[in-house]
Structure formats: structure tokens, C-alpha cells
Amino acid sequence: MYSVELKQVDKSYDKEQLVVKDVSVKIEPGEFFVLVGPSGCGKSTLLRMIAGLEEITSGSILIDGKKADHLPPSKRELSMVFQNYALYPHMNVEDNITFGLDVKKMRKKEKKEKCCEIADMLGLTDYLKRKPRHLSGGQRQRVALARAIITNSPICLMDEPLSNLDAKLRAHMRSEIRELQRKLGLTLIYVTHDQVEAMTMGDRIMVLNEGVIQQVGKPIDVYNAPANPFVAKFIGSPPMNVTTGLVDKNSSQVTISEQISFSVDRFTVKDLNSEEVIVGIRPENIRIYEESSNQNLSFEVTIDHVEILGTETLLKFKWNDSVWYAKWYGQWDIRVGQSLTLSLDPDSFCIYDGCTESLMQGPRNIQHQHVREGIV
């Protein structure tokens, strides 16, 4: 198992605009590390620089503690799975899988044994003599995976490998890839724009936007305490609800509408750069108003859209000049156009500085929630 470290890595194609800016991160040996972000944010470019398929403009890349900037892809001891599978159409499955072993001049018998072992692991034994055109999308994906792992490279790079699959097969392949990574002890760097893949597969995730790191951390930590409003709205489905507010530094009160205000910690207030803050709350922390709840945090809305998904119900409504969402467990008999009085949980707020957009105060109920659910 090898580590991969990027130190102040930049990438520019025209020497003016950087597509990757000052990326510094260390990926630990045996870690499943996910690069996630919107299309065009630089995540695939970053992966290709690690692989040696793109030159870096500045900075350095270390593999297993050794500088690898000057090394060609064949010398970096890694394998890669591409988005389009990149299988050879004139070769059968067996030849596609063992293609990477040809350069190692492995004996034919040993090569056959390794191929059968990997094929059995990935359920490809019955397809070894077929050509790629006779395989389904999921089977081709498994062939690409088999070709990557048969070389026993300690590092595996994957560039959106599941994007061409249907939803059911994608869910199956997520767990299959994760189990395979654990079994083989690979250091796996995985690129995706799908936040569900990032949340369910990664030991850690790195959120990118316009070539800049927004946040690095465990998926649950990024979800619970996003570092800025971009991460808050990108990670989570539906996204975090966000609105602006004004803070009174003398009373430590934040006002987000004429009816709603709440107190924040004094240490949060003293570090603010302005009187404006950005307040975020997850859809699942919005509740139907009850007499026992805080009346100062209740508001009335008209429901614009309802989605009943079986295990949960999603509501969409407009409030405070923004589109907001609520997500509740179970099946709720709520109709479009219905008026509801909702309430906010003040312990669930994320408070961001209005100028820097950095997180000043995260949800105060996270620790209690983890203890209650047996996570901590």
C-alpha cells in the first residue's frame, strides 16, 4: 500500500487561468479517497496528473514518499479505470484482463491462473471468451476493474467509472468496488460528480470547486458541518437550505426574518467580519410546528411540490425569498397548495461569515445525535 501526496499543485493550460489551484492533500496508504465536485471543477485533471497523463504546472506529487513528477505513467506503479472502460474491441475478455501482464513477461500458465482468480472474484468466469460488444455495461465495467487490479498495482485511480450504468447496477457496483478495495488493500482515488457515491464509498472526501479545495474530511463530517455554503448546497439531497441574516453583536442575536431570531455563541459573534451572516439548516431538521416547540422559530408556508418516496416525504416551498426543502421520514398526506406552520431547530443551524463564507458555528446537536444513535 502506497501513500499519495500532492504539494501545492497547480495546473494551467494557457499560463493565465489555473484549472487546479494550490492543491495540497495527503492520501493515506489503503485509503479510499474520493474527489467530488461539479463538472469542470478540475477533479479529472487532478487524477490525470497523479497518473502522469498530464504534466503539472507547479508543485510536486509524491508516491510512497518519493517524488514522482518526472516519472512516466508506466513507472508510477498504479492502474487506472476510465469512464468509457477503454476495452479493446478485437480482444476477448480474457485478453483484455491480462493485457497489462504482457509487458511483465509473465509465464502463460501463471497469467491464466491470475486471470481465472480475478474473473471468479468479479463474476466474469462465464464471459472470458466473449468480446466486449457482447457484454452489458456492468459486465464491461467489471472487465475494466479486473484489468486494473490484476497487475497488483498498489494504487488504483478511477475516473467516474459508474456514470454510464443504470441506477440499480450503480448501487450494486458501489458496494462491489468498496469490498474489492478493502479485500485487496488498495490505495484507491476515485473521481465522481455524484455526491451519493462520495458519501457511501469514501473513507474521506475532497470537495473541489473551480480547481480549489473547499473541504477535506470524513463524509459524515462534511455533511454535518460543511465548511462553506457551496459545500452545504452541493453535499446533501435535497441541499441544505440557506438564507441571510443580520447579527446584533451586543445581544448575540441573529435575525433571519421579521418573525424569526435566535441566539448564537458569543465567541462566534466576536470573530465575524461584518453584521451579515449566512444561516443554513438541513431539510430533515425542519419540523411541523408543535405547541411545545419554540414559537419564535415558527413560520407559515404554502407547499409548492410534494414527493412521497416510500420511506420519506420531500416538501418544496418558498420562504424568505428562497426555495426551501423539508424532508421527513415516512409517508405524509400533504397536498400541493396546503398551508403548514413549520419550525426550525436552532441547534441544527450552520452559521457562516457573510464576507468570507467560512463556517463560524456548526450544528450543536451533532454530538448528542451521534451518541444517541451509538455512532460515538
Structural domains of the chain sorted by starting position, each given as residue range(s) with its CATH number in brackets? 4-224 (3.40.50.300), 237-372 (2.40.50.140)
Q: How confident is the model at residue 346 (pLDDT cuts 50, 70, 90)?
A: confident
Q: pLDDT tens across 356-376, in order?
A: 999 988 888 664 444 344 443
Q: pLDDT tens across 258-284, in order?
A: 888 888 887 777 777 788 999 999 999
Instruction: Report angle CA 80, 82, 83 to the nearest 5 degrees.
Output: 155
Q: pLDDT tens across 150-198, in order?
A: 888 999 999 998 887 788 888 888 888 898 899 889 999 999 999 899 9
Backbone phi, psi, residue 240, to 5°: -60, 140
Q: Quote the CA–CA distance of 261 and 248 in Å, as a whole number.
A: 10
| Neighbour order of strands in the sheet with 339-344 | 286-288, 339-344, 298-308, 312-319, 322-329
80 or 294, greater pLDDT: 80
With a CB cutoff of 8 Å and minimum separation 6, the contacts of 113 are none
Cell numbers at residue 309, please?
Answer: 418516496
Give, in order, the Cα–Cα distances in Å from 77 to each of 106, 160, 176: 17, 21, 23
With a CB cutoff of 8 Å and minimum separation 6, the contacts of 12 are 18, 19, 57
Closest CA to 122 of 101, 105, 103, 145: 145
pTM to 2 decimals? Answer: 0.89
Query: In what helix (H) or strand (E) does residue 327 lie, and over which residues does it extend?
Result: strand 322-329
Residue 180 DSSP label: H
What is the structure's pLDDT at 368?
42
